[in-house]
Structure 1
Amino acid sequence: MDKIKVVCGIIYKDDRVLICRRKASKSLGGYWEFPGGKVEENETYEESLKRELLEELGLEVTIDSHFLDNTHQYETANIELISFKCSTEQSEIKQVDHDRTEWVLISSLLDWQLAPADIPIAKSLMNTYRCL
């Protein structure tokens, strides 16, 4: 099975990060995730992330740094999730692939039903945040 490359943004606002809940009609419906999407052919990871966040949330972001990559085997696909720390000046968010968005405390990330591929990123983020 080929590995699907997916990018996600860890978008900060003060001591909170943005998570989004997938619509019930989508795969992994009801799960929360760091927003992003599939990398298209001939795109860099950064280009893909900026495009996906604009398409799905109407957000323009500044990509600050690469954070962590995680490979996860779902029943139907093997994905490599590539995460980046981001920031935005925008406050309005549109919802295309998600039915809810929340700005949550980093320390509470594991209190949400995160998609399995996002959990290692959340744990690493929480550990990094505790060290600051």
Structure 2
Amino acid sequence: MAITKVVCGIIFKDDLVLICRRKPEKSLGGYWEFPGGKVEDGESYEESLLRELIEELNLKVEIKQHFFDTVHHYDNGAIKLISFIGETSGTVVESTDHDLVEWVKVSDLLNWKLASADVPIARALIEEKGK
């Protein structure tokens, strides 16, 4: 079975990180996630993330560094989730894939109903930054 490559952004504004709740009608509807999406053929991970953030959130982000990769097996297939830390001074006005967005403290991330693939990234982030 092929593994789908997906990128996500751990986007900071001040000391808060952005999480987004998937619309109910979407796959994993109602779960919170770090925003991003599938890597398209011919794109670097960074290019893919910047494109997805513009498409989904109309949000410009400066990518600072690669953070953490994890592979997760869902019922409908496996994904490799590749995360990057970034910063923005922008605001999210609307989202195409999400019904809510929140800026939260890193230390509070596990209090949200995160998608399973995002949990290891949140744990690693808390370990590194949430102390």
Per the shorter chain, which TM-score range? over 0.9
Mapping of residues 12-31 of structure 1, within 5 Å: 12-31=12-31
Equivalent residue, structure 2, for 1:68: 68
Give the drift of 1:92.
Answer: 3.6
Distance in 2, matches of 1:77 and 1:48, equals 20
1:20-51 deviation per Cα after TM superposition (whole angstroms, max 9, x unaligned): 00000000000000000000000000000000
* 1:19 counterpart letter in structure 2: I
Distance 1:102 1:130, change over 3 A: closer
Mapping of residues 2-81 of structure 1, within 5 Å: 2-81=2-81
Give the drift of 1:55.
Answer: 0.1
Structure 1 residues without counterparts, runs of 5 or longer: none
Whether the 8 Å CA contact 2:106–2:130 is kept in 1: the answer is: no
Could you tell me the TM-score, scaled by structure 2's length? 0.97
Distance 1:26 1:15, change over 3 A: same
* 2:113 counterpart letter in structure 1: Q
Give the drift of 1:5.
Answer: 0.1
* 1:44 counterpart letter in structure 2: S
Secondary structure, in 3 states, of the residue corresponding to 2:12?
strand
Aligned length: 131
Q: Report % sequence identity.
A: 59
Distance in 2, matches of 1:72 and 1:113, equals 16
Structure 1 residue runs of 4+, over 2 Å off? none
Structure 2 residues without counterparts, runs of 5 or longer: none
Secondary structure, in 3 states, of the residue corresponding to 1:41?
coil
Distance in 2, matches of 1:15 and 1:125, equals 13
Equivalent residue, structure 1, for 2:122: 122
Equivalent residue, structure 1, for 2:97: 97
Secondary structure, in 3 states, of the residue corresponding to 2:49?
helix
Secondary structure, in 3 states, of the residue corresponding to 2:54?
helix
Give the root-mean-square deviation of aligned CA atoms: 0.8
Secondary structure, in 3 states, of the residue corresponding to 2:89?
coil
Distance in 1, matches of 2:110 and 2:19, equals 12
